[in-house]
Amino acid sequence: MKNRELELKKIEGYARRMRKHILAMSLAAGGNSSHLGGGLSIVDVTATLFGSIMNYDGSNPNWEERDRFILSKGHGCLGYYAALVESGAISVEEVTTFEETGSNLIGHPVMNREIGIEFSNGSLGMGLSLGIGVAIAGKRRTQGYKVYVVLGDGECNEGSVWEAGMSASHFKLDNLIAIVDRNNFQQTGTGRDIMDMGSIAEKWISFGWETVEVDGHKYSDLYDVFEKGTIPGKPLMVIAHTKKGKGFDFSENNNDWHHAVLTKKQYQSALEQLENCVVR
């Protein structure tokens, strides 16, 4: 059995180092914009999954029994790449190639299982359907892996998400865990102004999912819900209430950082903020 307190400390260190990787990748993009805000909103979720919860070996990313991770909101790739760096699937040296011509690390993930990227992601609304297919395959092959899918809350405007949601409960996919990054922003404004969805949790409950709401930056909440896992016969939906750009004074809850250029001055400021406080 895992020691909860040790696991929480491990996750906290994982997340801190991941934020440094995210900053380094954003700076390496140079004059190109990066999706810093959406990467930072999921960083504590991915740190918890890759740092403690998932059955995953970064030195063997094609291991057949690995848990699968699918980033449906592909623009949050910084929070995914950074986790793969910490897991050992991607080298630290590769961080500085972000968005360079020929790099494996571009603005949306492209499938490359040699470095842990399970599927290509770009068009929103596709990742949950992919996850359902992988979960069904696991059931039919009697393999014990779990499938984790991270969606954006704005992405839930897509009808394909809800068709997938019906399918997951219909097929009783209790090996499927989805997480909605509920940061309340989309590219051009707030979710409420663009398409007010009301209570996302109530919608997933009505679609037959076991549904839990958590603070998406509180490691203890995230750890506990993932460690508890699914109940028999039901997929699990975790509504993670997050802040876009979490962790830095210039980016937190600032939708200008949906897609923006990180300057060297901002990079240095962010590093100082990481050194001087615990990001929670």
Q: What would the mean pLDDT of 204-215 be, rounded to a whole number?
A: 98
What is the Cα–Cα distance from 141 to 149, expressed in whole angstroms? 20
Q: Are strands 236-241 and 185-186 parallel, antiparallel or unpaired?
A: unpaired
Give the per-residue pLDDT at 109: 95
| pTM, entire model | 0.95
Q: Quick check: 231 pLDDT over 60? A: yes
The pLDDT of residue 208 is above 80: yes
**Beta carbons of 42 and 181 less than 8 angstroms apart:** yes
Q: Is 200 helix (H, G, I), strand (E, B) or coil?
A: helix
Instruction: Give, in order, the Cα–Cα distances in Å from 108 to each of 10, 65, 82, 162, 193.
Output: 28, 26, 13, 23, 26
Render pLDDT for 238-268 as a digit per residue (tens, 0 to 9): 999 999 999 999 999 998 888 899 999 999 9
- The pLDDT value recorded for residue 23 is 97
Q: Residue 148 sits in which domain range?
A: 4-276
Q: In this model, does residue 235 exceed pLDDT 90?
A: yes
pLDDT tops 90 at residue 136: yes
Q: What is the structure's pLDDT at 5?
A: 96
Structure tokens at 232: 């028999």
Give the residue-averaged pLDDT of 145-165: 96
Position 49 scores a pLDDT of 98
Q: How far apart are CA 163 and CA 128, in angstroms?
A: 10
Confidence of residue 278 (pLDDT cuts 50, 70, 90): low
Q: Residue 18's pLDDT is what?
A: 98
Residue with tokens 């690995």: 66
Residue 110: pLDDT above 80?
yes
CATH of the domain at 246: 3.40.50.970
Please tell me the total count of domains within the chain: 1
Residue with tokens 């909101």: 73
Dihedral (CA of 240, 128, 195, 230) sign: negative
What pLDDT is stored for residue 192 in this prediction? 86
Q: Can you tell me the distance from the alpha carbon of 119 to that of 72, in angstroms, rounded to the nearest whole number?
A: 9
Q: How confident is the model at residue 126 (pLDDT cuts 50, 70, 90)?
A: very high
pLDDT, tens digit, 9 for 90 and up, residues 179-200:
999 999 988 878 788 888 899 9
CA separation for the pair 106, 210 (Å, rounded): 34
Residue 1 has pLDDT above 80, yes or no: no
In order, the DSSP letters of 101-150 are TT-S--SS---BGGGTB-S---STT-HHHHHHHHHHHHHHTT----EEEE
pLDDT at residue 174 tops 70: yes
Backbone φ and ψ for 241, nearest 5 degrees, come out as -80, 115
